[in-house]
Amino acid sequence: MVRFDRADAFVAPDWVRLMIDCTLVTCETVPALDPDDRLVLAELRRRGITVRTAVWSDPHVDWSGSKLTVLRSTWDYHRRYREFAEWIDRVSGLTTLRNDARLLHWNVHKSYLRDLELRGVPVVPTAWVRRGERRSLAVLRTTNGWRECVIKPARGVATHGVLHVRRDRASSEAGQAHLDDLARDDDVLVQPYFEEVATYGERALIFFDGRFSHAVMKKPFDTVLAVGDARAAAVQPTPGEIEVAAKALAAAPGPSLYGRIDLLPDARGGPHVSELELIEPALYFGASGDGLRLFADSIEHTLNVTQLLNWRPLCVRIASH
């Protein structure tokens, strides 16, 4: 029963107080979360926040029983894209979903790189091959002046379906076959291979609520999904890298609770966005001193705002009677 202890103090009904504060969403292969995300689980519980984990594709989960639902290790969505897209739309009507549905739908296909480029964000040059289209990899490389290139699907996680094509004949033939295979089912990106990644590395910059938190140097073409097993070291990004990453995040179609921007350096050292991850990015808390606290702060803030927005109209209606 809704009641007021004071004229200006709203006490939520029992069914509200019994809701889970936060659900961390994962997939069937890691139902207990990635080891790195278990740190988030522990930190939220330490703060007195009720939190659970749930598999996004589990039909028995009551998503309406959670005030806030945060995506984490949904690493199989690219294999079940239509089902995942339907899940996003359904669940966003039952709980506060973060990141929100608009961002998730926009970010699921790497055509978002075109949007970033149109907004003045430096991105890795990209040749697009549409689904069902037959393109000559040799012509693409020659036309763009790329001695080596990288082929990747427009939908995918980590390095799933990613191939580095070198200059020799065998690698080139394998690259053509890989391009043909990927293009049968989805759109494909062909990008130049930046040789500087072998020496300088790929930098991943992590942001919470639009603010820079920390950065790591990722191992190129790392196939490991679980961050607890991944090879990454904390690094201090340059001001230019932070500026490019922030510009990319600001160019997204809305604010984000979390985001990771992966940057590659060109021959002159200029940072280019290779990925903007807003769905299930690894956030590398183990390599950061303050990252875990900042993410928990952002979740707690979002939870407080969510509760205020959801229950203030109810308070007003009740008080008016």
Q: How far apart are CA 214 and CA 206, in angstroms?
A: 6
Q: Give residue-wise pLDDT tens across range 141-190.
A: 999 999 999 999 999 876 778 999 999 999 999 999 999 999 999 999 99
- Percent of the chain topping pLDDT 90: 76
pLDDT at 102 over 80: yes
Estimate to the nearest angstrom the gap between the alpha carbon of 215 and the chain centroid. Answer: 15
Q: Give residue-wise pLDDT tens across range 50-101.
A: 999 999 999 999 999 999 999 999 999 988 999 999 999 999 999 999 999 9
DSSP β-bridge partners for residue 320? none
Decide the pairing of beta strands 3-6 and 9-11: antiparallel
Would you list the domain boundaries of the chain? 3-108+287-320, 127-193, 196-284
CATH superfamily membership of 127-193:
ATP-grasp fold, A domain (3.30.1490.20)
Q: Give residue-wise pLDDT tens across range 198-241.
A: 889 999 999 999 999 999 998 766 555 555 544 578 999 999 99
Number of Cβ atoms within 10 Å of the Cβ of 84: 20
DSSP, residue by residue, 98-110? ES-HHHHHHHTST
More confident site: 313 or 216: 216
What is the reported pLDDT for 318?
A: 42
DSSP, residue by residue, 156-197? -STTTT-EEE-SSHHHHHHHHHHHHHHHTTS-EEEEE--GGG
- Of 51, 55, 56, 3, the closest CA to residue 23 belongs to 51
Estimate to the nearest angstrom the gap between the alpha carbon of 42 and the chain centroid. Answer: 21
Total number of residues shown for the chain: 321
**pLDDT band at residue 267 under the 50/70/90 scheme:** confident
What is the reported pLDDT for 160?
A: 79
CATH architecture of the domain formed by 196-284: 2-Layer Sandwich (3.30)
3-state secondary structure of 35: helix
Whole-model pTM over 0.95 = no
Q: How far apart are CA 103 and CA 256, in angstroms?
A: 8
- Of 204, 206, 203, the closest CA to residue 291 belongs to 206
What is the reported pLDDT for 312?
A: 45
CATH class of 3-108+287-320: alpha beta
